[in-house]
């Protein structure tokens, strides 16, 4: 193959910044897919990272190629390169450098910007630098020009807000506001599973893996595949999910463990411990973000470990939770510390985050201190065995809820905003935590299929030119290994630095709960998947922010939104266009017109 080895340095720089761009997309954009799940406590941050690793990879590899083609072929007219392969390599490399640099700056400053707009603006800047304003596809261009993409700044948030609001209203009046919401939720849940599974199947079939050519099947076959997959998931939910959740929320069986899920129908006849009939005991987590010490419509739930501590105080161990509820002799419920002794102070009832920082508490001593020079064998072992893994896992162990509570000056304002939202009992919200995880995975799958193109599209063009020695044709393929490479960098970005963007989303925008988060994520997922279906690279950031606003308005009213935070996010979207475009255009013009001997 006629490799352009004289431009190896350009290919190397393009590879580095493609990886950096994908990393920043993961840190800045993948966080959008799971910010609501983490904010509502349906998933821990580490669980979200694992789920993202799977879903982002599958979405990128299976359905990411089509949108990648739009990024590398639909923004700049190929005639602008005048058949000069080296110039095309340089142009796409400059676009990646500008986009990756801007995204790194935005991520460090906790600005959830649009990674799609970043690379699209950078490519437009390259086009203007090489061929003037006429070199850029400013119009609709069959759904691939800048007009289509920038229209998404309004269309994507509006559609996502509409989808999210409708889904939440259906959920609210079909389940949450019913006289017996738990029963209603159990009855309607298979329909939710069917819908979510059908949407995900639709995205795979219509955009499908190019090698499988699923979109070439007959309409009848495609319809049967979509309905059949949704039906199978709904049946599996009825056989395994329903009895599992019924045992937890109705029987209040605190002995249920995750592996009991696979018992399926056998759980219908599984007897629960008699003490589980106590109305004050729940085997589900407490999903409330604020006012966790205040009563809600039903008794507040505690996680299963706390429930066991209530039943058997000897199981209490220091450090399991911040406080554990214990029953007093008169039958009332008190908040006792984990050592089981009555506190000497009156528990506070202020609306503060559950993970509010403790005061006047000494930091725990380092269990593995380094004594003497770090180069000593003993210290090297401590660094490799304890310090390095701790550093690598730091991004997945940060307390996101504490960050979302805001700085000292805004905690009270955020708390007052959340108090406008009605909180439902934890047992009902627990039903939607499973659906929220499923919709988060759907959203992550959609993100992998759509936004991996932002880094891999230009990189695919650079690699094609470098390996073939010619300007890329309009229909050049995107290798699967590139999509896998991009997905891997996305996941690393989320796992190591995604928490910094999550701190600006979630409960800081409006109050979250599993039912609200499910509606937000599913509304955003539908919007992104529909856009990807038509090869329009919309911003998942705009979709999840729009869905968050839509659900927040219908659940909490107009005053239930943090408009200041929304304004900063919108400002980041707007600033991305001139900054990335100007930077890429200046870099390209500088290198093309640089003096030489």
Q: 83-92, 117-126, 269-278 — which is least confidently predicted?
A: 269-278
SS3 299: coil
Q: Are strands 333-336 and 324-327 parallel, antiparallel or unpaired?
A: antiparallel
In this predicted model, which residue has the larger pLDDT, 278 or 190? 190
What residues contact residue 194 under an 8 Å CB cut-off, 6+ apart? 230, 231, 233, 234
Report pLDDT for 163: 93
Is residue 327, in this structure, part of any structural domain at all? no
Is residue 581, in this structure, part of any structural domain at all? yes
The pLDDT of 511-519, averaged and rounded, is 89
Identify the CA nearest to 494 among candidates 94, 38, 126: 38
CA dist 411 and 225 (Å) reads 49
User: Residue 136 half-sphere exposure, CB side, CA atoms within 13 Å?
Assistant: 20
In this predicted model, which residue has the larger pLDDT, 488 or 587? 587
Is residue 52, in this structure, part of any structural domain at all? yes
CA dist 530 and 63 (Å) reads 13
Q: Which DSSP string corresponds to 286-350?
A: ---SS-TTS--SSPPP--HHHHHHHH-GGG--TTS-S-EEEE-TTS-EEEE-TT-PPPSSPPP-S
CA dist 317 and 309 (Å) reads 9
What six digits make up the tokens of 221?
């076959």
In this predicted model, which residue has the larger pLDDT, 78 or 503? 503
CA dist 448 and 490 (Å) reads 8
What residues contact residue 265 under an 8 Å CB cut-off, 6+ apart? 239, 243
> Contact, 449 vs 67, CB < 8 A?
yes
CA dist 262 and 596 (Å) reads 70
CA dist 514 and 517 (Å) reads 5
The overall average pLDDT reported for the chain is 77
Identify the CA nearest to 91 among candidates 51, 54, 135: 135
> Contact, 436 vs 41, CB < 8 A?
no
Report pLDDT for 98: 95
Is residue 466, in this structure, part of any structural domain at all? yes
What six digits make up the tokens of 486?
């991009």
**pLDDT tens for each residue of 20-35:** 999 998 888 877 778 8
What six digits make up the tokens of 92?
């796409």
Is residue 569, in this structure, part of any structural domain at all? yes
SS3 50: helix
| DSSP code of residue 322 | S
325 - beta bridge partners?
A: 335
What six digits make up the tokens of 157?
């948030």
Identify the CA nearest to 199 among candidates 544, 539, 522, 550: 522
Identify the CA nearest to 158 among candidates 596, 562, 530, 592: 530
Rounded (10°) CA dihedral 16, 11, 459, 149: 90
Domain that holds residue 534: 5-183+420-592
**pLDDT tens for each residue of 297-356:** 444 334 444 444 444 443 333 333 333 333 333 444 334 333 434 443 433 333 434 444
What residues contact residue 222 under an 8 Å CB cut-off, 6+ apart? 205, 206, 214, 215
CA dist 83 and 130 (Å) reads 13
CA dist 135 and 79 (Å) reads 8
Is residue 65, in this structure, part of any structural domain at all? yes
Angle between helices 453-468 and 8-25 (to 10 degrees): 170
**pLDDT tens for each residue of 370-422:** 777 777 788 788 888 777 777 777 766 777 777 766 666 677 777 778 788 88
Q: In this model, does residue 169 exceed pLDDT 60?
A: yes
Total domain count, the chain: 1
Q: Which of 78-87, 136-145, 286-295, 577-586 has the highest mean pLDDT?
A: 577-586
Helices and strands (H, E) in the chain, number of each type: 22, 2
SS3 375: coil
- Cβ neighbours, 10 Å, residue 387: 15
Q: 340-354, 476-490, 512-526, 569-583 — which is least confidently predicted?
A: 340-354
Report pLDDT for 344: 39
Residue in this structure with the two tokens 């790194």, named with its chain if needed: 104
Distance of CA 357 to the CA centre of its chain: 26
> Contact, 448 vs 489, CB < 8 A?
no
> Contact, 4 vs 465, CB < 8 A?
yes
333 - beta bridge partners?
A: 327
Backbone angles phi, psi at 76, to 5 degrees: -110, 135
Backbone angles phi, psi at 327, to 5 degrees: -90, 130
Is residue 372, in this structure, part of any structural domain at all? no
- Cβ neighbours, 10 Å, residue 287: 26
Is residue 171, in this structure, part of any structural domain at all? yes
CA dist 155 and 141 (Å) reads 17
CA dist 596 and 587 (Å) reads 16
């Amino acid at each position: 193959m006629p490799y352009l080895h004289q431009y190896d340095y350009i290919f190397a720089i393009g590879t580095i910044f493609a990886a950096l761009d994908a990393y920043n997309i993961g840190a800045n954009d993948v966080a959008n897919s799971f910010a609501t799940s983490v904010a509502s406590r349906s998933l821990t941050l580490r669980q979200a990272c694992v789920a993202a690793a799977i879903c982002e990879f599958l979405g990128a590899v299976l359905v990411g190629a089509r949108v990648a083609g739009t990024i590398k072929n639909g923004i700049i007219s190929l005639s602008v390169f005048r058949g000069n392969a080296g110039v095309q390599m340089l142009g796409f490399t400059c676009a990646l450098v500008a986009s990756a640099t801007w995204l790194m700056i935005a991520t460090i400053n906790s600005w959830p910007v649009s990674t799609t707009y970043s690379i699209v603006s950078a490519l437009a800047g390259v086009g203007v630098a090489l061929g003037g304003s006429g070199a850029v596809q400013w119009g609709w261009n069959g759904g691939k020009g800048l007009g289509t993409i920038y229209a998404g700044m309004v269309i994507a948030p509006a559609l996502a807000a509409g989808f999210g609001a409708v889904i939440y209203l259906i959920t609210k009046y079909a389940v949450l506001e019913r006289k017996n919401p738990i029963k209603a939720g159990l009855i309607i849940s298979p329909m939710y599973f069917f819908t979510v599974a059908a949407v995900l199947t639709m995205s795979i079939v219509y955009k499908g893996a190019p090698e499988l050519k699923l979109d070439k099947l007959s309409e009848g076959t495609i319809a049967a595949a979509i309905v059949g997959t949704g039906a199978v998931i709904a049946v599996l939910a009825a056989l395994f999910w329903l009895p599992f959740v019924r045992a937890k929320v109705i029987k209040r069986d605190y002995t249920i463990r995750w592996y009991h899920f696979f018992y399926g129908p056998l759980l219908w006849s599984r007897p629960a411990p008699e003490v589980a009939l106590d109305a004050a005991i729940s085997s589900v987590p407490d999903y409330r973000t604020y006012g966790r010490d205040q009563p809600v419509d039903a008794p507040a739930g505690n996680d299963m470990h706390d429930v066991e501590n209530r039943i058997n105080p000897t199981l209490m161990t220091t450090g399991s939770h911040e406080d554990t509820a214990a029953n007093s002799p008169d039958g009332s419920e008190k908040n006792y510390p984990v050592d089981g002794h009555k506190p000497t102070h009156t528990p506070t009832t202020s609306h503060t985050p559950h993970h509010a920082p403790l005061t006047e508490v000494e930091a725990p001593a380092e269990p593995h201190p380094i004594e003497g020079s770090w180069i000593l064998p003993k210290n090297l072992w401590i660094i490799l065995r304890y310090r390095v893994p701790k550093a690598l896992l730091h991004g997945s162990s940060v307390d996101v809820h504490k960050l979302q509570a805001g700085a000292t000056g805004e905690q009270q304002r955020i708390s007052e905003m959340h108090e406008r939202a009605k909180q439902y009992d934890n047992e009902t919200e627990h039903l939607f935590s499973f659906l929220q995880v499923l919709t988060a995975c759907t959203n992550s799958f959609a993100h992998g299929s759509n936004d991996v193109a932002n880094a891999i599209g230009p990189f695919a063009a650079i690699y094609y030119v470098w390996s073939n020695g010619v300007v890329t044709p309009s229909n050049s393929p995107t290798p699967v290994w590139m999509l896998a490479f991009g997905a891997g960098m996305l996941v690393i970005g989320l796992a190591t630095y995604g928490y910094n963007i999550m701190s600006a989303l979630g409960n800081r925008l409006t109050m979250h709960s599993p039912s609200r988060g499910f509606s937000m994520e599913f509304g955003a997922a539908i919007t992104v998947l529909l856009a990807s279906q038509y090869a329009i690279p919309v911003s998942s950031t705009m979709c999840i922010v729009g869905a968050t606003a839509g659900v927040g308005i219908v659940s909490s009213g107009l005053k239930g939104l943090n408009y200041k935070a929304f304004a900063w996010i919108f400002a980041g979207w707007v600033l991305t266009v001139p900054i990335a475009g100007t930077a890429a255009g200046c870099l390209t013009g500088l290198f093309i017109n640089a003096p030489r001997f």
